[in-house]
Amino acid sequence: MAYKRRPWTLLPHGQLTKIEDNLWAVENNIPGARFPRRMSIIRLKNSSLLFFHAIPIDDTTIAEIKSLGYPEFLVIGHDQHAMDAEAFREKLGLKAYCPKDCEAKSRERVEISGTLSDIPHDDSIDILSLPGTKHGEAAIVVKSPNGHVSLLVSDVIMNVPKEEAGLPFRIFGFTGGPKIVPAFRRLFVKDKDSVKKALNEWANTPGLSRLVPFHGHIIETNAAAAVRGAAAAL
Ligand SMILES: [Fe+2]
């Protein structure tokens, strides 16, 4: 059955939060569930804005974001993170990109301009695809003007306290962390050693100071240790 793209659906969301001079975020819950998600907004060297994931936001927040730079790119972590992506892409007039490994499924959900390697080079970011997984989910390293380095991940590491999640998520092990949740292992991992190796390489990113998961709290201290710890437990 063809995928039915979801129309623009505005739900309650948090305020636009500044993380660095070139990095902001907005959070809300996954539609229909009590489980947090985060859209990150990165300002590139030429003042273009790159969105990592899409959350419909109110007009005030859109205006606030537009005052930061020129909305141009949308990166979806993988096809299952694209529920609101097409409506968001259309509303903000963005070009959307996805991992190569889930390109076909992503194209059902979003008008795709290319895969991750087609995103124009910018010195302030590195765009990664997680080896050893079926979907090749995206991650982004963001280098900020003050020297801080943030690693933004999709599903591979979550960090959701149990009191912030609905019962089904607690039962199925989505809470606690930072961790690789059981569903990720079951659904996405095809070569555990490759995933571990990649995470350990990501942990060695020079200057890594922060881990920004799609689901859950940002880790501001010992980010590299958190990534290594999640990898070791896989
Ligand atoms: Fe997810």
Q: Write out pLDDT tens, residues 201-212.
A: 999 999 999 999
Distance 153 CA to ligand 1 centre (A): 10
The predicted structure's pLDDT at residue 23: 98
Phi and psi based region of residue 57 (left: phi greater than 0; alpha: psi -120 to 50; beta: remaining): beta
Give me ligand 1 centre to Cα 215, in Å. Answer: 7
Q: What is the mean pLDDT of residues 60-66?
A: 98
Q: Spell out the domain ranges in the chain.
A: 17-232
d(CA 201, ligand 1 centre) in Å: 22
Å from CA of 202 to ligand 1 middle: 19
C-alpha 39 to ligand 1 mean position (Å): 12
Give per-residue pLDDT as tens, 129-179: 999 999 999 999 999 999 999 999 999 999 999 999 999 999 999 999 999
Residue 228 CA to ligand 1 center (angstroms) comes to 20
Q: Give the model confidence (pLDDT) of 1-30 as tens digits.
A: 578 899 999 999 999 999 999 999 999 999
Tell me the CA–centroid distance for residue 158 and ligand 1, in Å.
9
CA–centroid distance, residue 214 to ligand 1 (Å): 7
The structural architecture, per CATH, of the domain 17-232 is: 4-Layer Sandwich (3.60)
Ion ligand 1, residue ranges at CB < 5 A: 155
